[in-house]
Structure 1
Amino acid sequence: MASNPNFLKAAFHDPEAVAKYADSPRMAVPGFADMQRMARLLLAERVGSRGRILVVGAGGGLELKAFAEAEPGWEFDGVDPSPSMLQLAKQTLGPHASRVALHEGKVDVAPRGPFDAATCILTMHFADIDERRQMLTAIRRRIKPNGPFIAVHLSFPQSGAARAQWLSRYAAYVVSSGVDPEKASLARDAIDSQLEILDPGQDEGLMHEAGFSDVSLFYAGFAFKGWVSSA
């Protein structure tokens, strides 16, 4: 099942949705700020005080800003297919924008590096399984040997009634964050019908298949999972 372009357009190209994007991850992703902080610390273990980081799915600029504020010696290349989201990233970065090169498109438009590390946060679940394979392979080829890679996205059991249960848990969490129940239900249905969510074991398998090693779970926030691995 391929991701639905209409859903992507509504989420990342509609001006009203883009304008409200900064609030969305904080309301949908448990411990969003702490997850970003953990990701930055895991990168810093091997990158050190100076490095060049590839950020795939950089639109909005939230992780770019979090990383840039904490690590003044890092430089970044950010990739995103939505020009509206890239414009929002520039605004979000403010004075840190001079350390960030933004590229419109998918990972194939990114410089070849090699980068000291890479991240793909809240992006991979918008790609079907074949595109994920391509993305992961392209990312790994751009990272220096043994450089860290962080991936965070929707990932939960898909067998039997488990998928429906986790989708409902996602919606319940969003409602508990203050989202209108009807909008949360629409979001749940859109994810169910338009996104190809994988079981965590499948996600880890794809990372191994692309050549990543030492794949370790570092974050689990309800329906979201996050891994750190080595290129």
Structure 2
Amino acid sequence: MTNPFQWEHPKAMDYNDTIRRRIIGYDLIFELMKDLIDASIEQPEHITIVGAGGGQELSTLLPLLPAAHFKAIDPSSTMLALAEQRLVAEELSGDVAYIEEELIAVKLEPADLVTCHLVLHFLPTVALKKALLHEIAMHVKVGGTVYLSSINGDLEDAAFQQTLTAWGKAMIRNGVKEHQWQAFRASFGDTLMPISTTELLKLCDEVGLQIRHAYFRAYHIEAFCLERVK
């Protein structure tokens, strides 16, 4: 099957529109993250964004934290270019280093805050998911914060399939074409490989990340605020 999430494809430039049509509550994931950060006693100075292509995290956090130092990491040059273009269009500027690499290849001092939104479910195995979570944990200070969102669920569970059907109705209301929805649904078990929430949080615990807040859920899209505890 052709990967409908191939970020080096020219259609990646439409990403910021298409993802909003597909991911219910997409903007809320980031707005609620911003509110939690704004409510924190200590504001982060060093922020690492894992999967920064598209620029949503930068667009959300730069106005809130104009003096912060951002590392925007993504393996796709196309998606990083989209992030840069978005900041120009929105007339946002700040201390942003764009790094075209996988996280495992990047050596940085641990940050105060790390974000990784809507990435984990693309990794095909539990071992790879745990490896990414371990790298995320190693890139944040002990006591620091991680914001993590992903599609979670058991593909073999009948309730998952029922919810997926309801999700499709919402997507079509948002302007997604029927054939696009069917391609999205078919990608589960192929290019989208979610795990259950229970398994995800177990992996987080194993790498030293402990949940502070479960701050968003819409169907199987979930977002968490985590703390590195070891």
Normalising by structure 2, we get a TM-score of 0.89
Aligned to 2:33: 39
Give the structure 1 partner of residue 143 of structure 2. Answer: 146
Aligned twin of 2:192:
195
2:7 aligned to which of 12, 23, 27: 12
Deviation per CA, 1:108-140: give whole Å up to 9, x if none. Answer: 233422200101001111113211111111111
Aligned residue among 114, 123, 143 for 2:119: 123
Structure 2 partner of 1:223:
220
CA positional deviation for 1:180: 0.8
What is the Cα deviation at residue 215 of structure 1? 4.7
- The residue type paired with residue 138 of structure 1 is E
CA distance in 2, matches of 1:139, 1:126: 16
Query: What is the identity, as a one-letter code, of the residue corresponding to 1:213?
Result: Q
Output aligned runs, 1:69-84, within 5 Å: 69-84=63-78
The structural deviation recorded for 1:57 is 0.5
Q: CA deviation at 1:68?
A: 0.8
What CA distance in whole angstroms lies between the structure 2 residues aligned with 1:18 and 1:145? Answer: 35
In 2, are the aligned partners of 1:46 and 1:148 still within 8 Å (CA)?
Answer: no
Report the alpha carbon displacement of residue 43 of structure 1 after superposing the two structures with TM.
3.2
Quote the offset at 1:79 in angstroms.
Answer: 0.9
Q: Share of identical aligned residues, percent?
A: 23
Asked if 2 retains the 8 angstrom alpha-carbon contact of 1:43 and 1:148, the reply is: no
SS of aligned partner of 2:226: strand
1:165 maps to 162
1:66 — aligned with what? 60
**Residues 34-82 of structure 1: CA deviation (Å, up to 9, x unaligned):** 2201112323444734511111000111121111122212221011111
Shifted more, 103-112 versus 118-127: the winner is 103-112
Larger displacement relative to structure 2 (103-112 or 85-94): 103-112
Contact 1:174 1:184 in 2 (8 A): yes
- The alpha carbon displacement at 1:98 in A equals 4.0
Q: Could you say what the CA RMSD is over the residues aligned between the two structures, in angstroms? A: 2.0
**Residue 52 (structure 1) aligns with:** 46
In the TM superposition, residue 103 of structure 1 has moved relative to its aligned partner by 0.8
> Aligned partners of 1:113, 1:141: CA distance in 2, in Å?
9
| TM-score, structure 1 normalization | 0.89
Q: Give me the whole-angstrom Cα distance separating, in 1, the residues matched to 2:26 and 2:36.
A: 15
Q: 1:106 aligns with which of 99, 102, 109?
A: 102
1:195 to partner: Cα distance: 2.0
Greater shift, 211-220 or 133-142, is seen at 211-220
The one-letter amino acid paired with 2:104 is D
2:62 touches 2:94 (CA, 8 Å); kept in 1? no
Aligned residues: 225
- Amino acid paired to 1:89: A
Residues of 2 paired with 1:182 and 1:156: CA distance?
A: 23
- Ranges in structure 1 where 5+ consecutive residues have no aligned partner: none
